[in-house]
Structure 1
C-alpha cells in the first residue's frame, strides 16, 4: 500500500493566510524526508479556512524545495479553467521537474453562488467535464489541433476525483480514481470499485488504481489523537451552521466555547469518521479500510491546529506503513 499526503493549506485563527502556505511547503519538505512518495495540494476559492486556490503556483514552490517526492493537485477543478491553460501550467511544472508531477482533476464549480459568480461559472459548467477532460488529454499528449507548450517530455499522470459518477467515468476513460468524503462511507462503494476494476478501459499503459483519501491522525494514544482531530471536526460542524468554512481553532478555544446540541452531534460524528488513534489503532483501521476497498494508496488529508503535532503524526503514520 502506498501512502501519500494531501495538504489543503488550512488557515489558523489569528494568523495570516501566508503562514498556511509556508506551512504547506515545509510539510512537503518534511514528508519527503520521512519517505512519502506523493504530496498533493488542493484548489478552493474564497474559503476563509483555506489559503490555496492555485495548485500550480503552490506546487512550483514545493517543487523548488524538494527533489524526489511526487507532487500533484487534489485537484484542479477543470470546469473553472480552460483546458489549454491547465495543460500549459502542468507542462511547465513537468518540464522543470520531470517525472514528478501528477494532475488530479475534479468537477466542482465553487461552493456558493457569490463564488461561482466571481469565477464566471455556474452548475452547468460541470456538464462539459468529460469533453473538457478529453481536450486536456489532447494537449498533454500532443494530439490536439493546437500544440501546448512546452512540449511534453513524457506522460503526466491524470487522476480523477470521484464525485457524482466519477468512479464510472474513471473506468471508462482509463484513469486512476481518488475516493473520499461521503463516497468513501457509501455502502455501495465496494461494488462500485469492483465495477471500476472490471470495466476499466486502459489508456496507454494505464491500469486500475484506487486511492482512498481521508483524515488520518496518529499520536501516542487514542485520546490524544482524537483531540487532534477536534479542530477540523469543529470547523466542519460550524460550517454546516454558518455556511462558511472557518480557520482552525485550538482545542482549548473549542472546549471553552458553548456547543449547541446539533453542533455536538456533528462534531462527534466527524470524530468517529476520522482515523485517529495510537499507531496500533490506526493500523487496524487502515487494514480494515484497505480490505473493504482494495485500495492501492491511502492519502491522508488530515489537518489540526498544532502544526508540530501534525508533523509528528505524519512521521508516525509513515512508520506504521513502513
Structure 2
C-alpha cells in the first residue's frame, strides 16, 4: 500500500478535467554506507540514463555542503558530468543556493553548461545556505546575503539574457543563453518572488511539507507573465519508493527512516536499528517523520496513483520524485516501476 503520514485530501485543488502531471526526478547523489563519492557519481549517471530512457521530464541535483552522505556540493560540475553521459534529458540544479555565490559566477557556470549542452539545462535557485552556519562561514558566506536574494536573481537573469545590470560586465559564456530559471522554496517568500518575476516555482515538499498548499495558491494568484513564462508553472516534490511487492517497499522505507535519523539527528554516530527506532519514536524523531509527510511507498500502481492524486491535491503541473531506496538497484527499479505504471503521456 501507499504509506503517508496522513491520507492525501484531493478535494483541496481540482485541476481541469484530463489533467496529468509531468514527472521528473530529484537525485540527491547519495553516498551509501561503505561507498565513496565516486560510487555516488556512477550511480547518478546510471539513474539519469535510466530516467532518459524511460521518458522522465528532467533530473535535478541540489547544492548541499558538509553532508557526508550527499555528493552534489559542486552542483554545476556534477551536472556537466551527467550531461556528458546522457543525450536528451533536461538536467539542472534543484537548486543552486544563490547567496553562496556571485550571480556572475553562476551565470558563467550555467552559461557554459548551456553552451556545451544546448536546450538541456535548468537553473533552480534557492536562498538557504544548504549547510549549517559553521559551514557557511567556511564558504566565506555573508549571512546577510539571503536578504539580497531577489536582487541577485534579477542580476543573474540579466546576465543570462545579455542585458547586464552591472555596467561593463558581461557573462562569458552566459550572455544570451537565456538558461531558464526556477525559484525554489519551502515558504511563501519564494512563492511571492517567483510570481512577481514570472518564473516557475518549485516547492520542497519532499522534506518541508507545511506550507505547500498556501504557497502554490499564492504563487498562482499573484503570478505576473514574463518573457520566460506566460502562465504559472508549479512543481512539488514527493519521496518515492516503488517495489515489486509491498513488503520490500516497506522494508526500504524503514531503512531510509533509520538512515535519516543518523544523518540529521545523530550525525557522526552509528546507531543500531533498535536505537534508531527509539529516536524515531521520540519528539525529535516525529518531527523528522513529518518532514517525509509526502511519501509514496508501495507497489507501482498505488505509487503512480498517489503521484497523480498529489498533483491534484497540491495544484502543481509537475511532480519531482525523490527515489529514496537505499541501493542504486532498488532506485533504478523504482524509476522503472513508476514509468511502467504511469500513462506514457504523463511522463
How far apart, in 2, do the equivalents of 1:130 and 1:97 lie?
A: 27
Q: CA deviation at 1:254?
A: 5.9
Pairing partner for 1:158 from 181, 188, 194 = 181
Change (3 A) 1:17 1:151: closer
Q: What's 1:308 paired with?
A: 329
Q: CA deviation at 1:125?
A: 1.6
Change (3 A) 1:183 1:162: farther
TM-score normalised by structure 1 residue count = 0.90
**Residues 75-116 of structure 1: per-residue CA shift (max 9 Å, x gap):** 011000010000000011111111110001111124222201
TM-score normalised by structure 2 residue count = 0.84
How far apart, in 1, do the equivalents of 2:170 and 2:123 lie?
A: 19
How far apart, in 1, do the equivalents of 2:172 and 2:207 lie?
A: 36
Q: What's 1:262 paired with?
A: 279
Structure 2 residue 54 is matched with structure 1 residue 37: no
Q: What's 2:143 paired with?
A: 123
How far apart, in 2, do the equivalents of 1:141 and 1:65 lie?
A: 28
Q: What's 2:296 paired with?
A: 275
Q: CA deviation at 1:175?
A: 1.1
Tell me how many residue pairs correspond in the alignment.
Answer: 314
Pairing partner for 2:91 from 71, 78, 102 = 71
How far apart, in 1, do the equivalents of 2:35 and 2:215 lie?
A: 42
CA contact (8 A) 1:234 1:254 kept: no
Pairing partner for 2:161 from 136, 141, 148 = 141
How far apart, in 1, do the equivalents of 2:196 and 2:71 lie?
A: 34
Unaligned runs of 5+ in 2: 1-20
Structure 2 residue 101 is matched with structure 1 residue 81: yes
How far apart, in 2, do the equivalents of 1:183 and 1:32 lie?
A: 25
Structure 2 residue 218 is matched with structure 1 residue 195: yes
How far apart, in 2, do the equivalents of 1:291 and 1:254 lie?
A: 39
How far apart, in 1, do the equivalents of 2:214 and 2:317 lie?
A: 16
**Residues 8-51 of structure 1: per-residue CA shift (max 9 Å, x gap):** 11111112221111111221112111111201111111111111
How far apart, in 1, do the equivalents of 2:95 and 2:29 lie?
A: 13
Change (3 A) 1:154 1:52: closer
Give me the CA root mean square deviation: 2.3
| Bigger Cα displacement from structure 2, 227-236 vs 37-46 | 227-236
Pairing partner for 2:199 from 169, 175, 178 = 175
How far apart, in 2, do the equivalents of 1:110 and 1:296 lie?
A: 26
The structure whose residues are more often helix, as a share, is: 1
